[in-house]
Structures are given as structure tokens and as C-alpha cells.
Amino acid sequence: MPSLLSVRDVTISYPTENGLFTAVEGVSFSIAEGEKFVLLGPSGCGKSTLLKSVAGFIAPSRGTVELEGRTVSRPGPDRVVVFQEFDQLLPWRTVMGNLVYPLRVARRMAEPAARAAATRYLEMVGLTKFAASYPHQLSGGMKQRVAIARALALDPRMLLMDEPFASLDALTRRKMQEELLAIWEATRKTILFVTHSIEEAVVLGDRVLILSAGPGRVRRILDNPAAGQRETEAALKVQREVQEILGR
Amino acid sequence: MTAPELHAGLRKTAIVAILLVLWEAATRLGGVSPLLFPSASAVLAAFGRSLATGEIPGYAGQSLQVLLVGMAIGGLLALVLTALAVTTRVGAEFLETVTAMFNPLPAIALMPLALLWFGLGVKSLIFVIVHSVLWPMSLNTYTGFVTVPRTLVSVGQNFGLTGWRFVVGILLPAAFPYILSGVKIGWAFAWRTIIAAEMVFGVSGSQGGIGWFIYQNRFEMNTDLVFAGLLTVILIGLLVENLFFRWLERKTVVRWGISTGR
């Protein structure tokens, strides 16, 4: 399968008060079209930094990030990020407005087409009833659903998810993981997902890249036969394997 | 309006009514000369007459017009200063320094200079109004821009927004609560300043505005009209702050669930 995204020998370092800090070092991987790829590692391993460089927010100090053979140099609506923070929705727009606005400005869609697309994706995340609500009236889980719907509506080449469920309570978090799997089944959108939760990585990832901390280096890229499963024999086995790699 | 709000409103109305009754009683029973302290009824009657002849609305309108011109110029300058402050380090330091310097300086203290530079007229008034609104509005707008949540900035960039589209689509609305509170503070300063500045015109004998109206009527010993003028100043202040700005807040920051906590 040809790869959609290739990250080649990427090192990201930036100056701090205590000199140059290297967040990630010599990381390479590639993601195929339609794949769910998880970056897993302890906090501070640079996995979010890596995602930000794929998004185009941070330029790698060395190496390249290529999407369909073109070097990524700036953020753009072909790689939409779903952030962990609940304040990623525009508070001055309704739920509908939050979906319609980027379609108008980033995709130059006409209002009726944008509304139609927005409605379709709000339906997918089950929030049609809240189209006229403002973000502050929603719960954390609902806000993240809106952010996912907004990202999908933009029809990006890939979805970049930066620990989007990390601020949610355990029950909501599980539910969101299931919903994301269902959405992926329906759309087959390529996903790069960052998490520090082993369970989440094994449920979601077709492949899991395990990063070591300080600086972040590739420990292993693991094929996950238990993707989409939870608490099955296969899933537990992969979880144990990941744990072992991380513990080393 | 919710029930507790309605009850609070009724109580406040009752307080005003009681104060008016006490005022009326005191002036009638106390034997104070109406030239020094007219009764509440006399003041209300004078206010009513003056409303009917269009005298008070005319002068108040004149004051408001000058004030709005001053605020508009101040607002534009504030935007320029803020734009410089957001984009350059020198601009930020300049804004912080001049704001710190000029904020403690009451606008009315500049009136003599204004008269020297611009003469007796509307230009002088506008000059002091601009001074009174520029610094608080700049400082608030600047704070608004620099406190725009990092995530929202990233989201805007992710949509591919750049340049003025980014400013209009993300920065301005995100900074709006601060801009609004800057305009509110600016209004409060400007309204107090213009009344005071017009008194200086009263001293020098030329015409204009509700401040001048108050001063002129003191000169002619129409004390009831002096009180009516003060009442007008209070009423306009209340209307703008409690009706207009409240309404604007309900339509924006309250609806959006974002505020500056002020």
C-alpha cells in the first residue's frame, strides 16, 4: 500500500532557558491511506510535538514530513487537528456555526452546501438537536464530538487527534472511543492518534508506535491484531506486550 | 427578566421613591430657600418643562454627539496602537509606558492645553475625550489580543486563515470581551470628562452641551434647572450603562459564555 504520510528521520529541538531541548529524535514512520495509527508514550516523550509537526505548527529541525509526497510546511485544512482542550470550539458561534464557518472559509463552500455537510456530520456524532446551542452549553464529551464532526466535515486527507479524550471521565472516554471506531468504519478516514493510555492505543490503533521519553525515539512500531477490541484475550495480550516494551 | 431580578428591580425603585419623598419633605418642612435647594417636585417639574421645550434633549444630544466623535477617534487610535503592540515588541513597550504615564492624568487637567492648542470649541472637547478613552481602550484591547487562547489560534491556523481573515475570524471575536470592557470603561470616563470640560466653556462664556447648561443655569440662579441638568447626566449614564451595555453583553459575551470576569 502506498503511504499517505511519511515522516522521515524527524528531529525536533528548540531553545529553552537551559539550552537546546530535544523533544523528538530521529523518528521515522509512515501511515497508509485509511489506517488508524497511534503514537503512544509517557508524558513528555514528544508525541504531541510530533503531531504538531505533522499538522504544520512546528517545523522539524531535521528530517521531513510529507503528505502525499509534498513536504508539509504550514498548517492547513487537509490535516485537521482535534485538540485535547475543550476551548477548541469558537465560543461565539453556535454548534452549527462552528461547522459551517470553516467550510465557508477553508473550503469556500456556499452557505447551503456547508449547512448540508454540517448537518450530515452532526448527525454522525448524534448532536443534531444541539445545532443551535453555544459551546459553553455543552458537556466536555459533546464539545469533543463537535470538534470531531467539524474536522470530518472539512473532509481532510487525515485526522490528527491530540489526546482528544484525555480530559474526559472514564465512562465518556470509553464511549467516545467506540464512537470514533464507528465513525472510522463509516468514513475510513486516515487517523493519527496521540495518547498516553495503553488501553486506548490498543483499542484504536491498527498500528501503534511506541515512543521512549527524553528525547522521544521510536521504541517499536507494533502491528495490532486486536484493533477495535477491548478486554479480549488478543487485546490483553497486546496490552501486555506494549507494557513490556514501555517498561524496558 | 427572572423573578429575583424583578424583585430587586422593585426594591430599587422603592428606594428611589423613598429618597424622593424624603427630599420633598425635607425641603418643604426645613424651610430651605428654593434658590439653594429646590424641592423634588420643583426639580421634576423643571425637568419636564425642559424636556418639553427640547432644551435639555438638545444640549444632551450635543454632548453625546461630541462624545461619540471623541470615542470613535479614540477607538481608531486604540486599534492602531494595539496593532503595533501586538505585532512588535517596541509597540508593546510603547503602549505599556504611555498608558502607565497618561492613565493617572485626569483628562480635564489637559483642558487648558487643549484651549491653547485648539481654542474654545468642539475640537478642544474632542481632544480631552480622546485622551480620556484612548488609554483604557488600548490597554483592554491589547490584553484581549494577547490572552486569546493558544488553542483558538491553532484552530484558526488549521483552517488555513491568514492575515486579515485570521484577525477578523479569530482574534477580534476572541478578544471581544476585553474590547467591550474597554469601551465600557472608555464611555464612563468620557461621559464624566465631557460634563466637566463643558463647565470650562461655561466659565469662558461660550455655548454647548449639558455641562454648559448646568453651569449657565447656576449663573442665572435657576437652581431647579441645575438639578434637572444633573438628573439628565445621571439618567443618561444609567441608560447607557444599564440598558445599552447590558443589552450588548446579553447579545454577545453572556450568550457565548465568555467574559473577562469584570
| pLDDT, tens digit, 9 for 90 and up, residues A160-170 | 999 999 999 99
Task: Tell me which chain B residues have a C-beta less than 8 angstroms from the C-beta of A134.
Answer: 255-257
Q: Could you tell me if residue A185 is inside a domain?
A: no
For residue B261, is pLDDT > 60? no
- Give the confidence band of B205 by pLDDT, cuts at 50, 70, 90: low
Q: Could you tell me if residue A206 is inside a domain?
A: no
Q: Could you tell me if residue B106 is inside a domain?
A: yes
% of residues, chain A, pLDDT over 90: 90
Q: CA-CA distance, B230 to A124, in Å (whole number)?
A: 61
Q: Could you tell me if residue A215 is inside a domain?
A: no
Total number of domains in chain B: 1
Q: Could you tell me if residue B38 is inside a domain?
A: no
Among A40-44, A134-138, A219-223, which stretch is predicted with the lowest mean pLDDT? Answer: A40-44
Q: Could you tell me if residue B152 is inside a domain?
A: yes
Q: Could you tell me if residue B250 is inside a domain?
A: yes
For residue B256, is pLDDT > 90? yes
| pLDDT value for A79 | 97
Q: Residue B228: which of B50, B63, B61, B60 has the closest Cα?
A: B50
Q: Could you tell me if residue A132 is inside a domain?
A: yes
| pLDDT value for B3 | 81
Q: Could you tell me if residue A197 is inside a domain?
A: no
A98 near B159, Cβ under 8 Å? no
Average pLDDT over residues B69-87: 94
Summary mean pLDDT of chain B? 91
Total number of domains in chain A: 1
CA-based nearest distance B156→chain A, Å: 9
Residues 6+ positions from B35 with CB-CB distance below 8 Å? B221, B223
A213 near A207, Cβ under 8 Å? no
Q: Could you tell me if residue A39 is inside a domain?
A: no
For residue B203, is pLDDT > 70? no
Q: Could you tell me if residue B262 is inside a domain?
A: no
Q: Residue B120: which of B180, B196, B203, B51 has the closest Cα?
A: B203
| pLDDT value for B207 | 67
Q: CA-CA distance, A200 to A215, in Å (whole number)?
A: 23
Q: Could you tell me if residue A40 is inside a domain?
A: no
User: What CATH number is associated with residue B219?
Assistant: 1.10.3720.10
Among A33-37, A135-139, B218-222, which stretch is predicted with the lowest mean pLDDT? Answer: B218-222
By CA distance, what is A147's nearest residue in B? B155
CA-based nearest distance A92→chain B, Å: 5
Task: Write down the pTM of the prediction.
Answer: 0.88
Q: Could you tell me if residue B125 is inside a domain?
A: yes
Pick from B2-6, B17-21, B218-222 the range whose average pLDDT is largest. B17-21
A216 near A24, Cβ under 8 Å? yes
Owning domain of residue B96: 50-256
Q: How many CA atoms lie within 13 A of A43 on its CB side?
A: 2
- Give the confidence band of B206 by pLDDT, cuts at 50, 70, 90: low
Q: Could you tell me if residue B9 is inside a domain?
A: no
Average pLDDT over residues A92-111: 96
Measured between CB atoms, which of A83, A105, A136 is closest to B161? A105
Q: Which of B147, B150, B157, B159 to mutate to test the interface with A (most CBs of A within 10 A)?
A: B159
A4 near A33, Cβ under 8 Å? yes
Q: CA-CA distance, B83 to B138, in Å (whole number)?
A: 10
Q: Could you tell me if residue A133 is inside a domain?
A: yes
Q: Residue A199: which of A239, A171, A169, A172 has the closest Cα?
A: A239
Tell me, yes or no, if A164 comes closer than 8 A to chain B by beta carbon: no
Q: Which of helix, strand or coil describes residue A188?
A: coil
| pLDDT, tens digit, 9 for 90 and up, residues B15-32 | 999 999 999 999 989 888
Average pLDDT over residues A149-175: 96
For residue A65, is pLDDT > 60? yes
Owning domain of residue A147: 86-155
